[in-house]
Structure 1
Amino acid sequence: MINKKSIIQKNEKKMSFFNYLKKKLIKTSKNISKKIIKIFKKTNTIDKNLFNKLQEKLIISDISIHTAKKIINLTKKYVQLNKLEDPSQLYKYLKIEMLNILLPVEIPLLINKNVKKPFIILIIGVNGVGKTTTIGKLAYYFHKKNKSVLLASGDTFRAGAHEQLFTWSKKSNSFFIYNSKKKESSAVIFDAIFQAKKKQIDILIADTSGRLHNNILLMEELKKIVRVIKKNNNMVVDEIMLVLDANIGQNSINQLKTFHKNIGVSGITLTKIDGTAKGGIIFSLANEFNIPIRFIGCGEKITDLRLFNAKDFINAIFTDY
């Protein structure tokens, strides 16, 4: 028998999340969707001039030239094959095509029950992207799923990093470990793994230093952390999560290239998406790297970290024609 009450509750929850996302992405929506609609409404025909203006608008919205050209070329082919003449129909297809770019990277982070405890998540990224804040929100996310979490304060470079992470551990009901006598991140994280095993902790989230991504010492430090974890009773880093700030636009591509080349990135969290009008960078990241986007950060509250959902994201930024 179908439980109608359960279906209604699920639909209400889905709708409330969509409304939440729509409110948070209003700046991106105004810059991408509404300005694109203006281009379409100023013409009654689909021509070369329309495509040029559309491509320009995509690039201004922080979509890379490479990705913008791909989108335009696909829309041109669609127009030719279907002999479109109405700009409103092209707008609907554009929305579908941009969704298709995001769908392949909509891959949630799953904790395999059969994996040895702890499940290790290594958080990387440069200073200022919201790395430590993301760790706190991520810990709370897993706490709500009844998972025990240990936060390892592996950022031994930035002053105040330990105190900040300790505060987040309290907010998220997580365990916390830091050793002031050990100056290397790898040593702190080695101890954290030992403690996590001893206490049968489900998830270990390790913070790391965040100097500039082109800093050689930082990259060598991260490589050493990965080596140390592998030597610890054949443990593995289950997730190397790169935190990127949506506000920095094309520079996030350079950061991803460097981190991925040096230690490999298995997932991305895009922060501060609510504070930028140029959220188009998410399309470039998806199209050019095809690395899973796990979460998006949409605010300062501990609950403002949400699983990335491509369809909800597209519907939130693309208003009706």
Structure 2
Amino acid sequence: MTDKKPGFFQRLFGGNQPAPSPAPPETKPEVPAEPAPESVPATPEPEPIPEPAEPLRPADIPPPPGPPETTPDYIERVEDQFVTPPAEIATPAQPLQSWFGRLASGLKRSSDNLSSSITSVFTKRKLDAATLDELEDVLIQADLGVDTAMAITEILRRDRFDKDVSGDDVRAVLAAEVEEVLTAVAQPLAIDAGKKPFVILMIGVNGSGKTTTIGKLAQKLTREGRSVMLAAGDTFRAAAIEQLQVWGQRTGAPVIARPAGADASGLAFDAVTQARAEGRDVLIIDTAGRLQNRDELMNELEKIIRVIKKVDPEAPHATLLTLDATTGQNALKQVEIFGQRAGVTGLVMTKLDGTARGGILVAIASKFGLPVHFIGVGEGVEDLEPFAASDFARAIAGFEPPR
């Protein structure tokens, strides 16, 4: 039987249409099976690519290295090995200024201040009561002290009242009165050769110049042919110990020292004992700076003195108080308290070149009458000299040196 051909609608809607012949299966490329994980050799992971660095700025780019012989480091090494240090280069000797010249230069601020004040009072005026009162105020403000100020004005009242008086006239009276007050206290430091060692105890407030004064004094005594030993009794400051050791090297004086924080009285005992055993001429003992109103610190100073006396009942043979001239009126209180607690035998006035209040030395001399052994007007060794009343009086009054 012949198959009936499907009609149009059947073909259109799929009725009884023959199944299409299956399409040939799609062929895919063969992929080899992956080996088991345990059999795969470990492959190192690639290193991460670093982030690009921030571009260098011109200022950050180092200069190309130069030849070794031109680098600063090389030059510095050569200088260290073959070039004489500046301190050792021989320089032409400069003429040394006289002591009065250095003193006048150091006291210039004090004398200028005093002279200008006096000149402002005596400008074409006759000497009357009001002028004398003004002058007295000027002298007191210059730290000369009430007694000295009153003595000067009384001389002028007696000799020149109601007469024309110039500033030079007043300065002449000032110089004469200051010299008279200071002559009684201008005494050199006497070293008793029969006492070996002659023990000098240096005391004073913080920053008054004790350690520097010790170094200068040691150099002077060494130049005189005396054997000197130093004791670094300021055990509170490591810098003070080192500073004294430097002075010891300069002067050839051995330095007795202990670590910072050691007992100062024990060090003083050891120093006196060793200086005596070695037959030293002079032993200079440094002490820590202390304020005169700190009772516990003054007690420590008294202990040091007691311990020294256990070795030598007469020691210390000289107890020198260093005074900073810039402290002005406070120096009067220092002399009073240290004198009561430590038995001050003499004074050293330092830093006269750094103040306009140099007249305080006159007030101290007038009130206490203690010997003034040395004054200092600078940092150099030659700037510490025995005190001379006439030089000081003329310098502070602004006069030229006597010929």
State the TM-score bracket (shorter-chain normalisation).
0.7 to 0.9
Deviation at 1:121, TM superposition (A): 0.5
Q: Corresponding residue for 2:137? A: 56
The 1:233–1:294 alpha-carbon spacing in structure 2 relative to 1, beyond 3 Å, is: closer
Which structure 1 residue ranges, 5 or more long, are not aligned? 1-12
Deviation at 1:311, TM superposition (A): 0.3
Q: 2:283 aligns with which of 200, 204, 221?
A: 204
Aligned amino acid, residue 24 of structure 1:
G
The 1:71–1:154 alpha-carbon spacing in structure 2 relative to 1, beyond 3 Å, is: same
Q: Which structure has the greater CA radius of gyration?
A: 2
C-alpha contact 2:377 2:383 (8 A) present in aligned 1: yes
Q: Does 1:33 align with 2:115?
A: yes
Q: Corresponding residue for 2:315? A: 236
Q: For the residues of structure 2 that align with 1:296 and 1:265, how far apart are their CA atoms?
A: 16
TM-score, length of structure 1 as denominator length: 0.88
TM-score, length of structure 2 as denominator length: 0.71
Which structure 2 residue ranges, 5 or more long, are not aligned? 1-94
The 1:299–1:320 alpha-carbon spacing in structure 2 relative to 1, beyond 3 Å, is: closer
Q: Does 1:176 align with 2:258?
A: no
| Pairing 1:1-321 to 2, within 5 Å after superposition | 16-40=98-122, 42-79=123-160, 85-87=164-166, 88-113=168-193, 115-180=194-259, 183-320=262-399
Q: For the residues of structure 1 that align with 2:289 and 2:98, how far apart are their CA atoms?
A: 35
Classify the secondary structure of the residue corresponding to 2:391.
Answer: helix
* Greater helix content: 1
C-alpha contact 1:137 1:172 (8 A) present in aligned 2: no
Q: For the residues of structure 2 that align with 1:21 and 1:48, how far apart are their CA atoms?
A: 34
The 1:181–1:297 alpha-carbon spacing in structure 2 relative to 1, beyond 3 Å, is: closer
Deviations, residues 153-191 of structure 1 (Å, cap 9, x unaligned): 111223422111111222233221112388221110111
Deviations, residues 222-262 of structure 1 (Å, cap 9, x unaligned): 11122122221434211110001000100111111111111
The higher relative CO (CA closer than 8 Å, separation ≥ 6) is in 1
Q: For the residues of structure 2 that align with 1:288 and 1:253, how far apart are their CA atoms?
A: 9
C-alpha contact 2:202 2:210 (8 A) present in aligned 1: yes
C-alpha contact 1:79 1:90 (8 A) present in aligned 2: no
Classify the secondary structure of the residue corresponding to 1:151.
Answer: strand
Q: For the residues of structure 1 that align with 2:98 and 2:278, how far apart are their CA atoms?
A: 37
Deviations, residues 7-62 of structure 1 (Å, cap 9, x unaligned): xxxxxx9992222222222111111234323432x034111122122112112212
Q: For the residues of structure 1 that align with 2:366 and 2:96, how far apart are their CA atoms?
A: 27
User: What RMSD in Å do the two structures reach over aligned CA positions?
Assistant: 2.3
> Identical aligned pairs, as a percentage?
41
C-alpha contact 2:102 2:383 (8 A) present in aligned 1: no
Classify the secondary structure of the residue corresponding to 1:295.
Answer: strand
Q: For the residues of structure 1 that align with 2:260 and 2:124, how far apart are their CA atoms?
A: 67
The 1:141–1:33 alpha-carbon spacing in structure 2 relative to 1, beyond 3 Å, is: farther
